[in-house]
Structures are given as structure tokens and as C-alpha cells.
Chains A and B, each alone.
Chain A
């Protein structure tokens, strides 16, 4: 079926934008009125260009993508504006014509590779079906093409694996298959909706690299939707920042990331923790993005904006050209009113009027100044804070005096063998996962220790072992020098458990939806009989609510009345209710948007200081970990591979795995340095590699690594479990000096 949409005929002109979106508006008619989810947005994408679209959850990014490809789910509909593909209008195309366009000219990639493929069909089936829908090919030719595609997206042994089912591929490999499917008919535009969000950092880096390479090779344009500024910085040519269904700022990626103009973008950039420097405090945008039903008149950002003026609350700023970028903010729109010429006029008069050029330059330099001002304000802020931190002692615990929690040789196995009968009749083997394999670390009181690592490395298991949700299969956990396993008295162990509290990742699942917030917070108080009398308890609840930045009146409400960030505050209040000394936080911010994450991180830092809490912090986000912790342990497949203080581990990582992780973090400073490509994927924990678990991916591997499990070696205030480190043959770390020549250690 190669009937071509009329669109294709004119698609020849290479210079014309691939996609133009003009004043697009997407609405949802509901019982309580019409919701405007995407409101008057315009942008274009040029051939071969990658346009990043960032914004917080619910900003309308996905809906914009869905509208372009004609897959809005009813009752959602395009209520205004035009969408042009290669110069031809496509938002008015009929269903059949639109279908022919999809996949053939515009393709789409979704977030979750685990659910994007039909589990009941082989990869070959799905690829061939897609190819033959769009290209006039025989079954055989399509199969050949399918294998070529798989090969192209980096699937080893493609000829054989093409006949396997999706569940036989790992997450990263499935996303590669998804990309192959999207590329099957050589579309001119790919809309990638959070293509790497569900993946581990190291896989994320690989997929981004792959996507970039393929688009360059095929000249494909990409609309890259994500909430991750780092991914944008790595990949995009231009970026559009969306807020509450509108575009706040759009421009070249350098410009937007380094010289953000719109107050929202500016705040957003400041709220992202940085991997390469210490910051005491993140820039905080208070509040959260408004729900669609309550978007304020005027500028949607006005309730959160520190620079809001009276006009902002009544009149809506339009996207106006400022220098090379476009910004929707009154701060930057005054130019025309104050008598200066607007950019539009400049552009129109360009060439013919010598004066215009001068004026333009003037206007631009003015803008540049303003952006610079802001940037430097932020930077000096940071400098000052760095100085503050400099003084703190940040070496690993040598003394034992103030150690609160000591974990030695901690191990935990999970038996996931198939049942006996299967083992007998199908030769199934006994299989035991060593989720935690002889892990040692200690946490000094008043400090934050973080465990990082990719999914499945065992970090959450460690947390659960410590709070007693699992029992260890080996090793010891000591709290204040007392072995938790040896405490007999029930009351006593409960007393200790009360002094530890845990905060979980999902603020939606961890609060009972039927309870009022006050009851949720009071539960540990009542259960532990910590306070008597209604009055005392109520007073304590109010105090806790204020402590986490909520109002005492919020106690009467139910969890569903709160946003994700507020719910996480409630979780924190509940955890603090029993006045614990030790807080265990398992990915407490990974379900939150960056600006909200910054609020929670700031809150946790100040609470820690105020209450003298000791924290075990678990996260896969290295930048967050850097920001929050004093010391960091890196885990890989159940083992602790490196342990050091936060600055050392990120500025000068030692263990090859830490280096790889560090390198997988997209560079927000846009230095343009190429990263060392990250190799391979985390092997199955069921069948980990012999010796050093990291050896199949390690650039420094030698024979000994395959045989012998490396033991931790202590040197220069860090513990590293690596033969190469012990033998002193690891090259010095490069990251401490930005332009180090020893980038690639080979």
C-alpha cells in the first residue's frame, strides 16, 4: 500500500520548514466547561533540526505532539490554529489521509519501551507489518529491511533476534526496537515523547546518542519532548519551554539554557541540581503549575513569579521576539512601548535601513546584558554558597565516635527459583538473586549518606534491610553500636525502630486516600503513644505541618486535594512525627517535577540542619545525590563499588563504573564536549558476571578481574573495590579539570 498522501508531492523543497505549528489550541470539553490544554502555541521545525520541548508534567507537551500526529484522544480536539507539514496543512486531513501520513512521514516514539510493543507478536512481525503498510515491498524484502533496521539501531545478532518476542529483550533494547519501528518508512519528522525517561542513566545516554546519530544520517527532524533539561542540552538545536499549555520561551538551546530570559525558565534552570558543583540551596520557584481549571488570567506564571508586575495579572503576554529567541513575558515586551523598535520592525527594515541595524544591535546588546545580569546574579549566589560549604569536613569516617548506623558485610539473597516440579522436568535451575552482596558502610550522625546506582542494583533493598522490612541473610546492622539482630526485647527494638523513619518514592501510593491528613500524620504518634490528649496531638500536628511548609488548616483535608510535591511534604511530616533521628529516603523526589523537587530538596536540607537528622538517601539521580549528601556510596549489582565524600566522588570519580555513570550525565553547561560512550547494559542480576561484576563493560578489564572479586581498597579518603585501583593502574580522574586531555583512558 504505497498510496501517498498529497502532502508528499510538495515535500521536495529542502529548505522549507518540515513542520509549522501556528496558534495551535487544544481543548477538552468537559461537564464543567471547556479546558484549554494547549493554548495558542506556534513554532516550526526545520529539516534535520531537533526541537526540544520541555516543561513540567501537565504543561501540554504530549498533547501538542498528539495533536500534530493526529492522535488526540477524544474528547480532546484541535480548536484553533493550523499545523503544516512540509508546507501543507495536515490538521484538516481526513482520517485515512492522516493515517497514511503517520509512520510514513511523521513517526512517534513513546516513553515506556516495555509497553510500546505488542507482547504477542515477534519483532519481525511488527516491523514487517509496519514496513509493508507504507512501502511497496514483498514479505522477503521487508524482512531484509527489518533486519537492516535492527542492525542500524544497534541490536547485535539482528538476523536471529528479529524472530524473538518483545519480552525477550531488555528495556534499552526494546527502546531500540521502538526506534527501528519509527524509522521503518524513513519519516521526515519523529515526535519522541520522553523517549528516555523510563530508562537508566547509562541506557538513556546510549539511546540519546543513537537517536542523534540516526537523525543526522537520515536528515530526520525530531520534536523531542522531555522534562529533562540535560537531555535537551545534549540533543536539541532549539528548545521550547512550555508552561501551563503555553510556550514561555523558545530559542536556540545555548541561549535558553545559558541565558534564560523568562523568569520561569530562569527559575527552572536554577532549580536543577548540578553534578559538578556544590550548592547549598537550589533556586526555588514556590507553588506548582496551576491545574487547567484554574489557570489565572494574564500571565499563567504570575502567581509564582517573583518579578510580576500589575500588568502580569491582567494581561496575557504574547510570545515576542527578543534577540534570537522569543519570550512571552512583560519584562521583555516593554521595548516597543518605551519607544525602542521591536524585533519585527527591525527584521522588516533589515538591509534597507542602515539605522535599523544599529538599533537592532543596540536592542540585542540590551537583551544580552539583561540575560547576563541574571546569569551572573545566579552564579555569584552559587559562588558564595560554595565558599560556605568549603569549610565543612567532608572526609570519610575514620573515627568511630559519632557513627550512628554501621552496616557491615550486609547481604540479602532472594530465592526466585522456579518451583520444584519445573526444576525437575524442565531442567530449571535453582536461582538466587544476590540483591545485596556484602555491603559495608557507616553513616555518621547528622550527616547524609547516599546510595546511588542504576535500577536493580540493590539500593532500595539496603534501605529496607535497615528499617527491618526485610531480614538480612548475612552481615550486621548496628545502630548506635548495637547489633539490631541481637536486641531481644520487643519493646527495645521497637524503641529503636521508632527512631528510624522511611520516606517513599511515590507520594500517591504511600498516603491512605481515605484518611485526613491530620490522621495520617498523627498515626505514628498514636501508635507509639508518644503524646497524650487531643490537644497535645493537635498542637504537634500543626507544628509538623508548618515545619514542612504547609498550613495547619491543611490537616483537615484529604490527600487527593494536594499536588505531588505537597503530598511528599505530608509524607515527610508523618515521618517526622515520632521525632526520629534517622531518616531513610527512598527516591523521595523522583516522581516530582524539577521545580517541585527543588522545593523538597531545600526543605529536607533545612529540616536536617534544624533537627540534626541523620539521613540515608537513595536515588538514581547523581546530581540530586551530589546536592543532598555528605558521603556517597555507589552500588553495582548488589555490591558497593565506591564510597567517598560527595564532592570527591563526582569531581574525581575513581571506580570505572562511577566514571561511566558520571559521564552519562548530560552536560548542562553546554561545553560541547563529547562524552565517552557508555557501553553495554546492566547484566541480569540472576546471572551476574564472574569476578568483578563490572568487567564486561569495563575499559580497564584484565584477566584478574574475571576471576577475582575485587576487595575494597582505601586510599586518599575513599574506598574503591577495583583491581585496577588497587594496582594503581587507573588513570587519574579527568572530571576535576574541565578540559583535561586524559578524557579517554585508552
Chain B
């Protein structure tokens, strides 16, 4: 397992270097950083001094190394637009996004897995058919449309839930939505919007896996031994569906962070996605670079965790591979 982790870490490192490189390239290819820093009427000398002080005249590898070294320490420079260090801007926005993603992922699992199990076990019941049809709609509607529809119904018509913003947040080490009623009310709609796609995915995946597993010999044998339906379905079948579900969910958490851009825009949720979008509008390259690196880092981290989870679930992957003959 150690070898496995080392290999994974190495791969992760490669990914991060590649992403770092792309992020760094932004500075050189999208806009001119000096132009962004100085006024339009700056003289050529001023510009050159600026470039010198920013290290822009150094050879490329040196610049990249400096960028990487800073990035590792979490230093991405000043935001052009906000004129605060990028890391501060992100630190302020990160909790909002992470909480949103966390709630969305939780919802998708908490709803998706049971629905998947149900539709898998009762393949032909009317409710299963209904769920599958609805889920198809859920998958095919674009996120922003779902968000707008939800706002229309729950905020505009019913006036039950707020339509934008984080509402009241409480400082629990970070600004949190999860401890106050108002905060919770605010997070419901965006989280629902964000999770819908993943929910359908989880449900369909669990269903497909359930159907697959229920056909296996060990399930037949478990039934033939007279185990209760509960033991067969939830003890034997469900656990065997978990490996692929964990993979997909893991990957999807990364996607959720990425998709959050749209949801955050629709709900004016002050998270990283919104920050990134605004950064693009203003060609705020340090923010863009930092966002890229951060998202990539989270992806890599999740992947690592997912791989390690396999080991705990599936004994066949553990070190002890010996097969006894005699």
C-alpha cells in the first residue's frame, strides 16, 4: 500500500506541476501584467522598473520556479481588481463554496443512494419508473435553469426561502451558514440546484450497480442460505456497489466545485466561483491562477482519498495477496 501511495503522490505532484504551469502561463499570455499594474499614462521607464521589480525580465524557468515556490506557500500575489493579497480574497470566499459543495454532496448521497437502492430492488414498480423519468429530466435541464425555476417557485411565488446571498453567517473559525436558521434557509436552494445533477447520477449508478450485483452468484447463494432480504440487500448487495459509487462521488465533488460557478452566479452566492467569474471579467490573473491551482489541488486530494477508501472497503486490494493451496 505504501508503494501505491507513493505512486499516487508522485502522479499528483505531476498534475499539480502541470496545472501550475498553465496557471503561470496565464500571466504571460493573457494580458500584460505591467499594463494591469500601472496607469495608462505611465512612462516607459516606470514600466520597465515595474517589470524589473516583478521579476519579469528574469529567464522563464526562474520565473516559474519563483511562482511555484510562492504558490506552495499560498502566495499568489495581489489581486489586480481588489488590491488585496489573493490568498486573503480566496480565504474569505472559500468557506462559502466548500459549505455549499459539502451540503450538495451530502444531499446527493443521502437522497441518491436510497433512491438508487429502491429503484434497483423494485425495478418495475410505478414509483421506480416515475423516479427514473424525473431523473432524466433532472439530468437534461441546465443548472442555471433549475436554479431560476427554484427561485421562481420557492422565493417569488411561495416566498419561503431567500433567493440570493448567504444570509446570516456565524463565525465559527470561518463564516458559516450551517449554524444559524437564516443561514440554513439561504443554503437550501443553491445546494439543491447544485446537487440535482449529482443526485441523479448517484441514483442511476447505485441502481445499475445494484442490478448488477443482485445477479451475482454470491447474492443467489446468500438467498439460498435463507438470509433475510434485509441482510441480502443491505449487507451483501449494497456494500458491493459502494466501490464505484465512491469513485464517482469523489470525482463529482471536484465537479461540484467547478459547477458551483454557475450556481453561485445564479444565487449571487459569495463563493470562489463568483470570485473567479469576476476575475475573468476583469482579467484578474492572480486570482484566476490561484483558483486554478486550488481547484486542481482539491481534485487531486479527493482522488487520493477515494483510492485509499477502496483499500478499506475491498479486502482483495490489501497487501495480503497470498492464496493458500493446501
Which A residues lie at the B interface, using CB under 8 A? 69, 71, 99-104, 107-108, 110, 112, 115-122, 129-130, 133-134, 156, 161, 165, 167-170, 173, 178, 181-182, 184-185, 418-419, 421-426, 428, 680-684, 696
Contacts and interface: CB of A to CB of B under 8 A. Distances in A.
A431 to B, nearest CB: 11
B216 to A, nearest CB: 6
Contacts of B231: 129, 133
Contacts of B3: 418-419, 421-426, 428
A167 B221 contact: no
A696 B220 CA distance: 36
A681 B326 contact: yes
B326 A696 contact: yes
B231 to A, nearest CB: 7
Given A71-B224, A120-B239, A165 B316 contact: yes
Contacts of A161: 324
A127 to B, nearest CB: 10
A122 B239 CA distance: 13
A181 B223 CA distance: 12
A102 B223 contact: yes
The 8 closest A-B pairs by CB, nearest first: A103-B226, A102-B226, A108-B224, A103-B225, A115-B217, A422-B3, A421-B3, A425-B3
17 contacts: A71-B223, A71-B224, A99-B229, A103-B224, A103-B225, A110-B220, A119-B218, A119-B240, A121-B236, A130-B226, A133-B225, A134-B226, A168-B323, A170-B325, A182-B225, A419-B3, A428-B3
B326 A680 contact: yes
Contacts of B6: 421, 425
Contacts of A116: 217-218, 221
Contacts of A684: 323, 325
B171 interface: no
B40 interface: no
Nearest to B214: A73
B227 A130 contact: yes
Given A419-B3, A423-B3, 4 more contacts: A133-B231, A168-B323, A169-B323, A178-B221
B226 A101 contact: yes
B225 A181 contact: yes
B320 to A, nearest CB: 7
A72 B320 CA distance: 38
Interface string B302-326: 0000000000011110011011111
- Greatest chain A CB density within 10 A among B218, B313, B319 is at B218
Nearest to A69: B224
Contacts of A129: 227, 231, 235
Contacts of B239: 120
Contacts of A71: 220, 223-224
A73 to B, nearest CB: 9
Given A99-B226, A102-B225, A419-B3, A168 B324 contact: yes
Given A107-B224, A107-B225, A181-B221, A118 B322 contact: no
Contacts of A122: 315
B227 A103 contact: yes
B228 interface: yes
Nearest to B231: A129
Nearest to A127: B225
Nearest to A171: B323
Given A120-B313, A421-B3, A422-B3, A133 B228 contact: yes
B12 to A, nearest CB: 15
Contact of B316 (A108, A119, A170, A421): A119
Contacts of B314: 119-120
A426 B2 contact: yes
Contact of A681 (B223, B320, B322, B325): B325
Nearest to B4: A422
Contacts of B320: 168
B307 to A, nearest CB: 15
B1 interface: yes
**Would you call the interface of chain B mostly helix, strand, loop, or mixed?**
helix
B214 to A, nearest CB: 10
A679 to B, nearest CB: 9
A99 B221 contact: no
B313 A426 contact: no
A133 B227 contact: yes
- Greatest chain A CB density within 10 A among B220, B313, B319, B320 is at B220
B222 interface: yes
Nearest to B326: A680
A168 B229 CA distance: 27
A665 B217 CA distance: 28
B49 interface: no
Contacts of A169: 323-324
Contacts of B226: 99-104, 130, 133-134, 185
B7 A118 contact: no
A606 to B, nearest CB: 40
- Greatest chain A CB density within 10 A among B218, B224, B314, B320 is at B224
A99 B270 CA distance: 56
A174 to B, nearest CB: 10
Contacts of B324: 161, 168-170, 173
Given A129-B231, A173-B324, A425-B3, A120 B221 contact: no
Contacts of B323: 167-170, 684
A108 B236 CA distance: 18
Given A102-B225, A133-B228, A120 B240 contact: yes
A418 B319 CA distance: 12
A708 B190 CA distance: 75
A108 B325 contact: no
A696 B325 CA distance: 11
Nearest to A173: B324
Contacts of A121: 236
Contact of A117 (B221, B224, B227, B326): B221
A110 B229 CA distance: 20
B267 to A, nearest CB: 41
Contacts of A107: 224-225
A133 B227 CA distance: 6
Interface in B1-29: 1-4, 6-7
A108 B221 contact: yes
Interface in B204-248: 216-218, 220-229, 231, 235-236, 239-240
- Greatest chain A CB density within 10 A among B7, B226, B235, B323 is at B226
Contacts of B217: 110, 112, 115-116
B323 to A, nearest CB: 6
A115 B325 contact: no
Contacts of A178: 221
Contacts of A173: 324
Contacts of A185: 226
Nearest to B224: A108
Nearest to A184: B225
A418 B321 CA distance: 11
B218 A117 contact: yes
B224 A426 contact: no
Nearest to A114: B217
A69 B227 CA distance: 13
A99 B313 contact: no
Contacts of B224: 69, 71, 102-103, 107-108, 110, 182
A122 B220 CA distance: 18
Nearest to B6: A421
Nearest to A120: B239
Interface string B82-118: 0000000000000000000000000000000000000
Contact of A167 (B222, B313, B315): B315
